Structure 1
Amino acid sequence: MTAWTDIPDSMIQQGKPIRATDGRALRDNPAAIAAGADGAPRVQGIALGGVYLGSFTQDGKRPQALVGLDKVGLLVADVITVGSLSGGIVQIALSGNGGASYGGWITLYTEPSTTGEHAVGRLHIDLATGAWRVRLLSSDGSTRITEGTLTLPPGVNAIRLTKANDYAVTVYDWFVLGARS
């Protein structure tokens, strides 16, 4: 992580040459702010809104992980499930050490049974409070809303998802909608 460097106001004045250390700080401080370096100003949640983290496909009992979530407050995923025969049980595991180890599997929700059809929706996970909510709309028009609260490990910074059964394909597109300090 890039270190934060304080630049005294007296060093940045009209007509005064810039010292090399101040020039490097001007170059490196934005990265230090983004990384949450010690001493750096904190980025407000609104500044992190809409950051796209990436996508993964869950198509069996192979856990898929998101790591590097140290400053993430609200994590949101657009969810698409295709062809769930009996309603897949989606489970989450949480880590406070960057994904080196995880706690036990916790059941989040059961996907709608959509044999030959699909379901779309959105999953919200608040990594500051543990509150979560999923809303899925099946192709038959039915809606399923499930919510709860997770017990978070200290400094939660990684999650992984798997399915306990019915390994239909589910695609998650992940976004950050808020930060935590």
Structure 2
Amino acid sequence: MRRARAAALPIVRPDLVEYYLAHRAGQGMNTDHRVRWGARALLAAVPDLEDFCRLPLERQLAFNHETHRFISWLSVTGRLQPGADYLVARRPRLGIVLARTKPELHLRFMETARTLGFRDYLAMSQFNLLGHFVALFGKQPHELQQTDWDQGRDLLLEAARRIPNRGVKALSTSLFNLEATLL
């Protein structure tokens, strides 16, 4: 019995896909056909990345693992702004992606958090939330203003209240700790 072949994906924004793959390769990360397919699948479904946040949440969450990795990279690099609902429901590990794109920032942040007495896992949780703010506002960490922090905190907590089992209290604590580390 022959196996059916998947339909070919249209090639949309090949420059962006190649840049993503080059970025991953530069960090010694996998760039095989699954990684390429994950990026191409998102761009085939959402050629204009601004439309991603207009998709129903269920559709945003339905992409496969490799596509979500691409979404995380796009979010941290300011090319896509997912909404708070996506960030709360998916819980992407944006801190890891941010650490790979901004290693000096990550080192300084972790050192500051340790100096304040936070254990590494709590500091990394805070850094992950910093990635969420970068994604929400499409700004680099040094560009975030107090209004972004206030609005982002409200958006994330409101999303956590709407989405079942997303730990409003834990999120609120992490947000407070993040602000303490950044001050």
Is this a same-fold pair by TM over 0.5?
Answer: no
Which structure features the higher share of strand residues? 1
Q: Normalising by the residue count of structure 1, what TM-score does the alignment of the two structures yield?
A: 0.25
Structure with greater contact order relative to length (CA < 8 Å, sep ≥ 6): 1
Higher-Rg member (1/2)? 1
TM-score (norm 2): 0.25
